[in-house]
């Protein structure tokens, strides 16, 4: 059984949409089992689900280049780190 593969993780602070505070956010670049790519971003609070942003390989490459200083590379089977 083939599973998702997380190959890059980014941790950063983002402005909360309704409050004037910065919250920690985690974004994961994932190669999905069907061969497509996506970035999964955590919610602004622990009970919010991740948001999936479907991407092309070119968009993933740009994401890796744009945020290279905040990305930690880790290949993890199953899509979670």
Tell me the HSE value of 16 on the side-chain side, using a 13 A CA sphere.
11
Secondary element (H or E) of residue 66: helix 57-66
- Tens of pLDDT along the chain (81 residues)? 468 888 999 999 988 878 888 989 999 999 998 999 999 999 887 788 999 999 999 999 999 999 888 888 767 666 555
Check the CA dihedral 24-18-47-29 and report its sign: negative
Secondary element (H or E) of residue 31: strand 22-31
> What's the pLDDT at 41?
93
> What's the pLDDT at 1?
40
> What's the pLDDT at 58?
95
């Amino acid at each position: 059984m083939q599973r998702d593969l997380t190959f890059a993780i980014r941790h950063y602070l983002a402005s909360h949409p309704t409050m004037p505070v910065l919250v920690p956010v985690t974004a994961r670049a994932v190669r999905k089992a069907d061969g497509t790519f996506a970035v999964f971003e955590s919610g602004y609070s622990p009970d919010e689900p991740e948001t999936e942003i479907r991407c092309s390989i070119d968009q993933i490459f740009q994401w890796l280049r744009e945020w290279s200083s905040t990305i930690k590379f880790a290949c993890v089977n199953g899509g979670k780190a």
